Amino acid sequence: MRDYKLLNSAKFEVINHLENYLPAKGFTIEWKLIDHKYSGLTSWDMAVPKLFLIILIAIFIGVIIYYSGIRVCFVNL
């Protein structure tokens, strides 16, 4: 997500630079209109992919343990 954010930021820097040579400043006006409403990536947006990765790894480990015949005993405390 961070790489996407960096790439997207770089693209908008290029667009803003090119916009200086145009008679209309469409992107600048757009950002002024939505700036107070735009929050960017939140901590939840960053956490969701990590959560899915943890779930995927847990499933992968579970499948390996299941098919390898390793017996896992859980002791009831």
* Per-residue pLDDT at 1: 63
* Per-residue pLDDT at 29: 82
Residue ranges of domains in the chain: 2-68
CB-neighbour burial class of residue 52 (10 A; exposed 0-12, middle 13-18, buried 19+): exposed
pTM over 0.75: no
* Per-residue pLDDT at 47: 87
Dump pLDDT digits (tens) for 18-42. 888 888 888 788 878 877 666 666 7
Q: Which residue has the higher pLDDT, 73 or 58?
A: 58
Question: Distance between terminal CA atoms of the chain?
Answer: 41
State the chain's mean pLDDT as an integer. 81
